[in-house]
C-alpha cells in the first residue's frame, strides 16, 4: 500500500505526463494545423519542362534530393499516391513544386515541428531523399500540414518573381520562424 507521499508523487507524475506530452508534441500539431493559406495560389500540375530552372533559382543545386528531369517529374506526378491525389489543390500544388524544384525547397527550413521527424528541410515534408536516377518517393507529412505547403507555395511564388534564394529564405524565416522548432537547414550558397 502506498504511503501518503508516494500517492502524491504518483498523482503529480500521472497529472504532468499528459501535459508534458502535449507540450512536446504541441508544436508539431499546432504548426501543422495553424497556418492560413493564400487563396490566390492555385494548383497547376507539373508538365514536361516545368523542371527547367526559373530565374533566381540555383541551377540544379540541391542538398539531398536529386534535381529531376522533366520526364522524372511527369512520371512521379502520374504515379502520385492517393494521399496526394485526394489532397486539396493547394497541397497538390505544394507537392508539384517540391517535386520539380528541390533546388529551391532543399534550402528552406520547415517550421511545423517536423524536425522531430528528422526532417532536414522543406522538401523532406513532401519527398524522401533520392539520388539521380532513383524514383521519386512521396512523403505523406505535407498532405496534412498547411505550414509545409505554405512554405513551398511562398517559395514558388517568390521564385517565379525572380527572387534570389537568400531572399526566399529570409522571407520564409521571417514569416514562419516563430511557429514551431525549425529544421536545421543551412543557408543557400550565395
- Banded model confidence at residue 10, pLDDT cuts 50, 70, 90: very low
CA distance 157 to 170: 14
pLDDT tens for residues 101-147? 999 999 999 999 999 999 999 999 999 998 888 999 999 999 999 99
pLDDT of residue 115: 92
Total-model pTM: 0.72
Q: What are the residue ranges spanned by the domains of the chain?
A: 1-190
How many C-beta atoms lie closer than 10 Å to residue 171's C-beta? 17
- Banded model confidence at residue 170, pLDDT cuts 50, 70, 90: very high
pLDDT tens for residues 35-61? 434 333 333 444 433 333 333 334 455
CA distance 172 to 1: 56
Q: What is the 3-state secondary structure (H, E, C) of the chain?
A: CCCHHHHHHHHHHHHHHHHHHHHHHHHHHHHHHCCCCCCCCCCCCCCCCCCCCCCCCCCCCCCCECCCCHHHHHHHHHCCCHHHHCCCHHHHHHHHHHHHCHHHHCCCCCCCCHHHHCCCCCHHHCECCECCCCCCCECCHHHHCHHHHHHHHHHHHHHHCCCCHHHHHHHHHHHHCCCCCCCCCCCCCC
Instruction: Print burial letters for 109-130: b (CB count within 10 Å at least 16), e (below 16).
Output: bbbbbbbeeebbbbbbbbbebb
Distance from chain centroid for Cα 1: 51
Amino acid at each position: 500500500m502506498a504511503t501518503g507521499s508516494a500517492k502524491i508523487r504518483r498523482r503529480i507524475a500521472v497529472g504532468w505526463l499528459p501535459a508534458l506530452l502535449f507540450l512536446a508534441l504541441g508544436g508539431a500539431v499546432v504548426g501543422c494545423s495553424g497556418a492560413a493559406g493564400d487563396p490566390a495560389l492555385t494548383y497547376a500540375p507539373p508538365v514536361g519542362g516545368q523542371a527547367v530552372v526559373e530565374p533566381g533559382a540555383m541551377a540544379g543545386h540541391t542538398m539531398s534530393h536529386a534535381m529531376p528531369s522533366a520526364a522524372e517529374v511527369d512520371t512521379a506526378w502520374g504515379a502520385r499516391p492517393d494521399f496526394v491525389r485526394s489532397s486539396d489543390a493547394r497541397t497538390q500544388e505544394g507537392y508539384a513544386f517540391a517535386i520539380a524544384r528541390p533546388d529551391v525547397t532543399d534550402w528552406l527550413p520547415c517550421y511545423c515541428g517536423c524536425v522531430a521527424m528528422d526532417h532536414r528541410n522543406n522538401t523532406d515534408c513532401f519527398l524522401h531523399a533520392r539520388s539521380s536516377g532513383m524514383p521519386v518517393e512521396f512523403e505523406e507529412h505535407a498532405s496534412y500540414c498547411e505550414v509545409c505547403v505554405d512554405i513551398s507555395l511562398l517559395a514558388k511564388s517568390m521564385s517565379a518573381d525572380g527572387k534570389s534564394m537568400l531572399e526566399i529564405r529570409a522571407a520564409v524565416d521571417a514569416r514562419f520562424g516563430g511557429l514551431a522548432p525549425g529544421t536545421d537547414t543551412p543557408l543557400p550558397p550565395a
